[in-house]
Structure 1
């Protein structure tokens, strides 16, 4: 599943509605720690059965996208902090 959003559907809605779906929150050119501080308490209290991850893309990430729209990136090229799970 791929979900692209620009703030219309919040992370709380995604986490509670899709409890059995592996979620990956990707942020572009952003300090991830404030977002993680917001989402970790939520994740501890809603009884999810699937993993959650956060990825951080640097500001030079347009080179990951081909002319046809295919995205090709590895974990070596992104920030991938671990979330504290209950």
Structure 2
């Protein structure tokens, strides 16, 4: 829960920095602000995806186990190739 609040603060700070950069015609601040804002938004997406996967696996553990096994086999083949 703390991470969500931290992401909100970082997103707001990034947006403010981006607006400040545009107002002062500072490309460096604009880019840093946009990067900070979009990184926070990406954090939301990753957290939502992890929550969805966790919910799906808890409601259907055998399906989750089958998918995890399939991913393991694919990664094994990819890493074992020369």
TM-score normalized with structure 2 length: 0.25
| Structure with greater proportional helix content | 2
| Higher relative contact order (Cα pairs below 8 Å, separated by 6+ residues) | 1
Task: Compare CA radii of gyration and give the structure with the larger one.
Answer: 2
TM-score normalized with structure 1 length: 0.24
| Structure with greater proportional strand content | 1
